[in-house]
């Protein structure tokens, strides 16, 4: 039976992988949304609601409120980082692995969600919501509000993102924030009257050093100036410059502290003006968000005869960060086992498809049975 289920799931994964879906390509996202809708409707027996922005819609299968305290939000996404045409062959199976754009991150996990819910009798699905986003790879800008709304209502979010190394579950995720620092100076001819200019590029360099000093003073965070742009031509004093900044933190307190420090930056050249803008922020998933569900996963795995799960902290973010910020208990990395996310060797280990789906199904059922209770510390929740 397991072999038959694996082959059915593998065929469904292939169906989604062969419909390319880069986040910023509305036409591709439209085609992929149609494929996900068709697959989910076939497996779950009902069509989804469609919400969010037309260019990056959110698909929602809501099976009703269920009992208080026995509700679960299942989070997945079908967008990828791969532009159309990036892969010569969209699907390849070799030595127990399946390769393709987005197969690991995270179309196989999405298929696992559909199959896990499909295995639960329709009459027993009250309390389950499946939410599939199409902008996760760019920060879930369009879907964040919906994720927060449903996560706060459910109180539990299971995230079918790809597993960590060797199938480990993700019991903590760093918070992520992106910033843009704009510097305004005054342009002038670099040869005729450079003294009339105010060099925004030089000021940007000072600010990069100030950001590096912040990083040195706070080794517990990762604060990285990334893209730096200044000026228009080689013979013009730059009148404007921009610096992009990537921030990663393990705690909400650190996220807020560095945010305040960045906003407090002041120009070295007082003739320039600087402006710091936060482009987006995903608060961290802290161990307090995951402890009870991770323990429950261990119980479910034992009952299934599976090895005890391992939990690890990871640096990347997911829609689980948004769910945690809304006050939900979260467990992430419940999706496919494999490797090579965002890389040319992206793949899944086919033999793990069915067992991971059984684990996810067991966790869903355990939540619906009322087997998890959890207080979330207020300091770990974004108000």
Placement of tokens 């706070």 in the chain: 218
What fold, for 175-282? Alpha-Beta Plaits (3.30.70)
Query: Residue 281 — pLDDT band, cuts 50, 70, 90?
Result: confident
Query: What is the predicted pLDDT for the residue at 337?
Result: 98
Query: What is the predicted pLDDT for the residue at 379?
Result: 53
Note the CATH number of domain 2-173+284-380.
3.40.630.10
Question: pLDDT over 70 for what percent of the chain?
Answer: 97
Cα–Cα dist 112/13, whole Å:
9
The angle, 0 to 180 degrees and rounded to 10, between the axes of the packed helices 353-368 and 2-17 is 100
Indicate the DSSP class of residue 87: -
- In this prediction, residues 173-190 reach a mean pLDDT of 96
Cα–Cα dist 314/336, whole Å:
16
Averaged pLDDT of the chain: 95
Give residue-wise pLDDT tens across range 317-354. Answer: 899 999 999 999 999 999 999 999 999 999 999 999 99
Q: Please, where are the H alpha helices in 25-170?
A: 26-44, 108-118, 144-154
Cα–Cα dist 376/289, whole Å:
6
The angle, 0 to 180 degrees and rounded to 10, between the axes of the packed helices 353-368 and 108-118 is 50
Cα 85-88-93 angle, rounded to 5 deg: 125
Distance of CA 378 to the CA centre of its chain: 23
- For 92, the token pair is 């390849």
Q: Is the pLDDT of residue 234 over 70?
A: yes
Per-domain residue ranges for the chain?
A: 2-173+284-380, 175-282
- For 160, the token pair is 């079918």
Give residue-wise pLDDT tens across range 44-96. Answer: 999 999 999 999 999 999 999 988 889 999 999 999 999 999 999 999 999 99
- Quick one: CA torsion of 116, 122, 123, 128, rounded to 10 degrees? 50
Cα–Cα dist 309/28, whole Å:
36
Q: Is the pLDDT of residue 283 over 80?
A: yes
- In this prediction, residues 226-248 reach a mean pLDDT of 97
Cβ neighbours of residue 146 closer than 8 Å, sequence gap 6 or more: 51, 52, 58, 60, 131
DSSP 294-337: HHHHHHHHHHHTPPPP-EEEES---HHHHHHHTT-EEEB--S--
Cα–Cα dist 194/126, whole Å:
70
**CA proximity to 138, closest of 30, 24, 290:** 24
* Stated length of the chain: 383
Cα–Cα dist 146/133, whole Å:
10
- For 66, the token pair is 């269920």
Cα–Cα dist 276/259, whole Å:
10
Cβ contact 377:288 at 8 Å: yes
Helix, strand, coil share of the chain (percent; to 5): 40, 25, 35
φ, ψ of residue 171 to 5 degrees: the values are -100, 0
């Amino acid at each position: 039976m397991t072999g038959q289920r694996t082959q059915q799931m593998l065929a469904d994964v292939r169906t989604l992988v062969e419909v390319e879906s880069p986040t910023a390509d509305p036409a591709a996202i439209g085609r992929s949304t149609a494929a996900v809708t068709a697959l989910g409707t076939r497996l779950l027996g009902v069509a989804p609601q469609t919400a969010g922005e037309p260019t990056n819609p959110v698909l929602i299968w809501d099976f009703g409120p269920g009992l208080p305290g026995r509700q679960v939000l299942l989070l997945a996404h079908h967008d990828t980082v791969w532009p159309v045409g990036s892969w010569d062959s969209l699907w390849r199976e070799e030595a127990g692995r399946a390769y393709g754009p987005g197969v690991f991150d995270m179309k196989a996990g999405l298929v696992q969600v559909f199959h896990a819910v499909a295995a639960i009798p329709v009459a027993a699905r009250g309390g389950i919501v499946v939410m599939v986003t199409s902008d996760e790879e760019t920060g879930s800008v369009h879907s964040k509000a919906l994720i927060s709304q449903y996560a706060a209502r459910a109180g539990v979010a299971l995230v079918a993102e790809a597993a960590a190394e060797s199938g480990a579950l993700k019991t903590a995720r760093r918070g992520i924030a992106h910033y843009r620092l704009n510097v305004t100076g005054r342009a002038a001819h670099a040869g005729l009257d450079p003294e009339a200019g105010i060099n925004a590029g030089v000021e940007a360099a000072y600010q990069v050093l100030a950001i590096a000093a912040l990083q040195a003073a706070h080794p517990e965070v990762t604060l990285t100036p990334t893209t730096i742009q200044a000026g228009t031509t080689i013979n013009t004093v730059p009148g404007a410059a921009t610096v992009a900044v990537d921030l990663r933190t393990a705690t909400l307190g650190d996220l807020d502290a560095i945010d305040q420090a960045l906003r407090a930056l002041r120009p070295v050249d007082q003739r320039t003006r600087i402006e710091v803008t936060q482009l987006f922020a995903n608060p961290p998933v802290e161990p307090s968000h995951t402890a009870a569900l991770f323990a429950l996963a261990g119980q479910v795995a034992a009952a299934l005869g599976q090895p005890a799960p391992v939990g690890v902290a990871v640096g990347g973010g997911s829609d689980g960060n948004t769910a945690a910020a809304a006050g939900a208990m979260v467990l992430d990395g419940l999706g496919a086992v494999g490797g090579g996310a965002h890389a040319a060797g992206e793949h899944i280990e086919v033999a793990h498809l069915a067992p991971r789906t059984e684990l996810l199904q067991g966790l869903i059922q355990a939540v619906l049975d009322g087997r998890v209770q959890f207080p979330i510390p207020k300091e770990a929740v974004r108000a």
